[in-house]
Amino acid sequence: MLQLYHNGAEKVRLRTNANSYFNGGNVGIGTTSPQDLLHINSDTTDARLLLDGHTDFDAELKFAENGSVKYTVGHDAATDTFRIGTTNVDTNPRLVIDSTGHVGVGTTSPSMVGGTRTLHINGNSGGGGIRLSQGSVNSGTISYTYPQGISLETSNRTRMRISANLGDVSFYDNSGTTQKFYWDASAESLGIGTTSPAQKLDVSSAGTTRIQVKNTNLTSSGLYIAEDGTGAQINETGAYPLRFNTSGSERMRIDSSGNVLVGKTGVDLANVGVEARSNGTLAVTKDNGTVAHFNRKTSDGTILRLP
């Protein structure tokens, strides 16, 4: 045994088969001016600290407070993983990194997705999540619970959710409680204002419901389809015609004056086509042949009456 004293007090004790210690001052390895209790310095290469456990035994570094171990980091030999645990690396592991690079929080077996390295967060019955924040007030979370699925939240309000089983996607109103935009994955249908779309696109609301299409280069023009409780509407909001096409060509239009034009684009008897004018006039122009046909399928009744 080797003992060293200073001013009558033992400061160093070295033993070959029992506890040894340094009591007082900092210890320097590679330095004569240690800046902390243990200071390892290398002037020519990397500075390293090696913990080498025996075969099938862990290599750990423990952190304690007043003699009580709080956390332990190191290599868990049984699973060949790097871990952060409590009293030992295999006791209540908080974080696990396996040999392929997968990271697990709340799980000792982080799963691979699509053959790529992953961060696997498991919250057991409460689900898992990630919180992103700026300062102490503004924050957002991405979380998973079953069967609700993946949720995106800001300001403690749900904004979007993808269901776990069906893959349905919901976007919520400002309160975060009511689904307003809903994709029904099994029916391949989109609902706005409804979670039960009856068609491929179903737009619903308690009041007047509109779908609008607008060209931003024409600020005074726009098209909307509406249902206001008294009937359906198709509206051109500007002083432009409402046109109907088939096979890429215009067949009929309603101009801004309310005239219905078939086979032509303006009110003009010189051009072939049919005009049902808003003043009650019917105008028909044809190059040749019969201009008008009137047929009655029964033997009674007037075919045409001119007052």
Could you give the percent of the chain with pLDDT greater than 90?
72
pLDDT on residue 205: 92
3-state secondary structure 178-227: CEEEEEECCCCEEEECCCCCCCCEEECCCCCEEEEECCCCCCCCCEEEEE
pLDDT on residue 138: 82
Using CA atoms of 199, 205, 206, 208 in order, give the dihedral in degrees to the nearest 10.
Answer: -100
Confidence grade of residue 135 (pLDDT, cut at 50, 70, 90): confident
pLDDT on residue 61: 96
Provide the whole-model pTM. 0.69
Residue 4 has pLDDT above 90, yes or no: no
pLDDT, one tens digit per residue, over 43-62 is: 999 999 999 999 999 999 99
pLDDT on residue 192: 96
pLDDT on residue 79: 95
Residue identified by tokens 């979370």 is 141
Alpha-carbon distances of 111 from 50, 84, 129, 198, rounded to whole Å: 30, 18, 16, 39
| CA-closest candidate to residue 71, choices 80, 62, 79 | 62
- From 47-61, 77-91, 205-219, the region with the lowest mean pLDDT: 205-219
| CA-closest candidate to residue 60, choices 40, 42, 76 | 76
pLDDT, one tens digit per residue, over 214-242 is: 988 888 889 999 999 899 999 999 999 99
Residue 300 has pLDDT above 90, yes or no: no
pLDDT, one tens digit per residue, over 244-272 is: 999 999 999 999 999 999 999 999 999 99
